[in-house]
Structure 1
Amino acid sequence: MGDRVQVRVSPVTVFQVLEVNGDEVVVMAEGDAPGRYPYTYRAEQLIPASNEPPE
């Protein structure tokens, strides 16, 4: 938990992993992003985040 990931097809927002349930990953956008609430993705839809964490 706590890993930083992005959605493979549109790697704009960085998410923090909250929970992993088999192939499902629950994530939430970092920072004060609008619509910031938990989302569920399949693990294959996510990639490691490529930018540095916010300070």
Structure 2
Amino acid sequence: MTGGDAKSGGIGIITEPRLKKTWDMLVKNKLIDASKVPFEQTYTLEMVKDAGVMP
């Protein structure tokens, strides 16, 4: 909970590269259709961008 991205971005941080990796896995395993679920429309960072809850 306090390692990885949380170490530098705070607890609860969400990063685009991490989300992209998850999205890629879902597409690869045919759990979502990339043409129907475009990556750019699957998330927002607006709610956590300024939270900064540091470990």
TM-score by length of 2: 0.24
Higher helix share: 2
Higher strand share: 1
TM-score by length of 1: 0.24
Larger relative contact order, structure 1 or 2 (CA cutoff 8 Å, min sep 6): 2
Larger Rg: 2
